[in-house]
Amino acid sequence: MIPRLKPDLSWHEIATLFKINKLDDVPEFECAFATLMGKKHAIFFPYGRTGLLFLLEALGISDQEIICPAYTCVVVPHAIVLSRNEPVFVDSNPEDFNMNWDQVESVTSSNTAAVIATSLFGNPVNLDALKDYMKKNPNVFIIQDCAHSYAASWKGEQVQKVGHAAFYGSNISKIITSIFGGMVTTDDSALADRLHYIRDKRITKSSFKKDIKMRLYLLGAWLTFQDSIYGFTNKLEHLGFLDHFIQYYDENKIDMPIDFLADTTPTQGRIGTIQCKRYSKILIGRKKIANYYNQKLRDLGDLILPSMIEGTTYSHYVVQTKHRKSLMNHALKRGVQLGQLIEYCIPDMPSYQRRTGNRMTYPVASRLSRQTVNLPISLSGSTEKASKVISTLLTFPFN
């Protein structure tokens, strides 16, 4: 079975699970990450959403409005609400899945404190539109959500380099992983000091038990994602046995995971450092598969392929079709698991329906939530496996 996602791990990551911890494992990862992103500071948190929560606190934003996409990971507005601010949603562009900048302009008011400029699925945020917005609204903080994009670039300029700060997620579904965790990067040393201060004050020290848990989790994930075993894993997932690991939200609740304040561990730091070193190789593999899909899947029924935007980093290769459910079932029967990553439009979720930041209609986000499907992309550049995915799609009766 070809899984819909898979952490890209080499024997270096597996070998480090058996090593003794060093005091500077996490600082080394922060340093490697800052260098990789071309930023002065990188601060590691238990989750990307914890990083965003503390970033808003460090920027002194409370009781204000923060603009974010209606079509993004729901944990983003969760962090905004839990920071005692109001998320104001805007619709998306059908071409790149990112936020519609005309709408960002139209909802900006004297209550707007920040914009979460998101590069969804690895598609770079339009930096021309963003810079134009920054010129017109110099008092609004720009926070880049790079959880999917890392160093995606727009016309050659990396997205994380524009704005006040950026945050990233690094769980095992991301381009590079630290098992769980998230980074915040910035060039602003005073902001970095405040983030360190808040982290030291609010995060509980990591325990040896958590470190062992992280090692076992990654080892388990590595085994589970082997093609020969994944069929069994998929059955367990179907029966609901894995909900504890994969259910990341409850549509009726705005909350955080129970361990969102439990510190990261040295093993996470070591894994992250190794992954930083392998980032460019991982990216080459993803781009190769994306190009291959784009060549071979043209003109197939109602299938809309992603616009091949230069500088995209392909955290996911996302197509659109009205036949999502039946296509996914068709592929599964043939040993290919497809994914539906963001299958909701946040303003339509019960927990956000009546919030004051839900103030327009979101037709594109709503359509994307029903029609997006992601194809396996983490195949270590293997076009043999990609061919299996392609032939599965080619045999689907689209019409």
Ligand X SMILES: Cc1ncc(COP(=O)(O)O)c(C=O)c1O
Interface ranges with ligand X (CB under 6 A): 47-49, 72-73, 75-76, 118, 145, 147-148, 169, 171, 182
What is the smallest separation between the CB atom of 115 and ligand X, expressed in angstroms?
A: 14
What stretches of the chain adopt beta strand conformation (E)? Answer: 41-45, 65-69, 86-90, 112-118, 141-145, 153-154, 157-158, 165-169, 182-186, 317-320, 372-375
What is the smallest separation between the CB atom of 293 and ligand X, expressed in angstroms?
A: 21
Residues in contact with 203: Cβ distance below 8 Å, sequence separation at least 6, in sequence order: 45, 46, 50, 261, 262, 263
What is the smallest separation between the CB atom of 383 and ligand X, expressed in angstroms?
A: 27
**Nearest residue (CB) to ligand X, 98 versus 112:** 98
Q: How far is CA 381 from the centre of its chain?
A: 20
Q: Which residue has the tokens 């808003």?
A: 56
Asked whether the beta carbons of 48 and 258 are under 8 A apart, the reply is no
**Nearest residue (CB) to ligand X, 48 versus 306:** 48
Q: How does DSSP classify residue 150?
A: S
Helix (H) or strand (E) holding 79: helix 75-82
What is the smallest separation between the CB atom of 354 and ligand X, expressed in angstroms?
A: 24
Helix (H) or strand (E) holding 301: none
Asked whether the beta carbons of 29 and 273 are under 8 A apart, the reply is yes
Question: Which residue, 273, 175, 173, 265, is CA-closest to 225?
Answer: 173
For residue 397, the number of C-alpha atoms closer than 13 Å in the C-beta half-sphere is: 0
What is the smallest separation between the CB atom of 171 and ligand X, expressed in angstroms?
A: 5
**Nearest residue (CB) to ligand X, 345 versus 393:** 345
Phi first, then psi, for residue 151 (nearest 5°) are -100, 50
What is the smallest separation between the CB atom of 268 and ligand X, expressed in angstroms?
A: 12
Give dist(CA 225, CA 144) in Å, integer: 30
What is the smallest separation between the CB atom of 60 and ligand X, expressed in angstroms?
A: 22
**Nearest residue (CB) to ligand X, 148 versus 355:** 148
**Nearest residue (CB) to ligand X, 53 versus 274:** 53
Give dist(CA 392, CA 101) in Å, integer: 37
**Nearest residue (CB) to ligand X, 269 versus 386:** 269
**Nearest residue (CB) to ligand X, 127 versus 184:** 184
- State the burial class of residue 304 (Cβ atoms within 10 Å of its Cβ: 0-12, 13-18, 19+): middle
**Nearest residue (CB) to ligand X, 46 versus 266:** 46
Give dist(CA 125, CA 155) in Å, integer: 11
**Residues paired with residue 204 on neighbouring β-strands, in sequence order:** 262
**Nearest residue (CB) to ligand X, 61 versus 183:** 183
Q: Which residue has the tokens 């409850």?
A: 250
What is the smallest separation between the CB atom of 84 and ligand X, expressed in angstroms?
A: 18
Question: Which residue, 276, 277, 271, is CA-closest to 13?
Answer: 271
Give dist(CA 318, CA 307) in Å, integer: 10
**Nearest residue (CB) to ligand X, 76 versus 125:** 76
What is the smallest separation between the CB atom of 245 and ligand X, expressed in angstroms?
A: 13
What is the smallest separation between the CB atom of 100 and ligand X, expressed in angstroms?
A: 16
